[in-house]
A and B are shown apart, each in its own frame.
Chain A
Amino acid sequence: EAQVTQNPRYLITVTGKKLTVTCSQNMNHEYMSWYRQDPGLGLRQIYYSMNVEVTDKGDVPEGYKVSRKEKRNFPLILESPSPNQTSLYFCASSPTRIPYEQYFGPGTRLTVT
């Protein structure tokens, strides 16, 4: 089944404890992206990648890192999480290098205490 998977789906952690949220797609898509969704703010793009080893900042990249070593994987790293990073995170992918017709993962609900 064509899909975008994220792990974990739920995570409660403490301030400063490094964490990684994994994202994987099995559709050979070029473009991958991370978003965070907060009430009243809609979705905001954190980072995106148009190809392997090519990443770029979205609108809210502060406090996050990403890597794209393989086409299928695009992990999101929070090196020192803070409470303001408590949010619902989505990974998405697109068939081309442009963010058209994105396929979204199921989301990761992160709470930082």
Chain B
Amino acid sequence: SQQGEEDPQALSIQEGENATMNCSYKTSINNLQWYRQNSGRGLVHLILIRSNEREKHSGRLRVTLDTSKKSSSLLITASRAADTASYFCATDAKGAQKLVFGQGTRLTINP
């Protein structure tokens, strides 16, 4: 299975601190995406990084991709209580239209 693994499984930080989550995957990919899920609700797309990109920014989000290590990280800067959610990475393998999600990191921002 190509299923990714996310690290850590849970992260708890104080409001205003930065949060970093990591994702590892097993096969060559076209793209890697990050999604957010608020408790039990549908996922929301955050950012997509292509396999030929190394870093991408969107507001307070910074994503890096290291294809040699088959890993990605999501950095949320200046965290807010509203960032409390689960974060998932998702990859689509080269030549496939399937999307494979990691198991997610549960992020809690303490006020």
SS class, residues of chain A in contact with chain B: strand
Measured between C-beta atoms, what is the minimum distance from A35 to chain B in Å? 8
Any A CB within 8 A of the CB of B24: no
Residues of B contacting A100 in the complex (Cβ-Cβ under 8 angstroms): 31, 33, 48
**By the criterion CB–CB under 8 Å, are A44 and B101 in contact?**
yes
Instruction: Write out, one digit per residue, whether chain B residues 14-55 have a CB within 8 A of any chain A CB (1) or not (0).
Output: 000000000000000011010100001111110010000000
Nearest B residue to A105 by beta-carbon distance?
A: B42
Instruction: Write out, one digit per residue, whether chain A residues 86-113 have a CB within 8 A of any chain B CB (1) or not (0).
Output: 0010101000011111111111000000
Measured between C-beta atoms, what is the minimum distance from A25 to chain B in Å? 12
Nearest B residue to A4 by beta-carbon distance?
A: B42
> What are 10 A-B pairs at a CB distance below 8 A?
A42-B103, A43-B101, A44-B3, A48-B98, A90-B43, A97-B97, A98-B92, A100-B48, A102-B99, A107-B41
Given A90-B43, A103-B45, is A42 in contact with B97 using a C-beta cutoff of 8 Å? no
Q: How far is the CA of A43 from the CA of B41 in the complex (A)?
A: 13
Nearest B residue to A99 by beta-carbon distance?
A: B99
Residues of A contacting B48 in the complex (Cβ-Cβ under 8 angstroms): 100-101
Add 15 more A-B contacts to A41-B103, A45-B101, A102-B99 (CB < 8 A). Answer: A31-B97, A42-B104, A43-B101, A44-B3, A44-B101, A45-B100, A48-B98, A56-B97, A59-B3, A88-B40, A97-B97, A99-B99, A100-B33, A101-B33, A102-B35
A-B Cβ contacts below 8 A, count: 67
Residues of B contacting A88 in the complex (Cβ-Cβ under 8 angstroms): 40
Measured between C-beta atoms, what is the minimum distance from A7 to chain B in Å? 14
Q: How far is the CA of A103 from the CA of B45 in the complex (A)?
A: 7
Give which listed residue, A31, A45, A106, contacts B41 with CB less than 8 A: A106
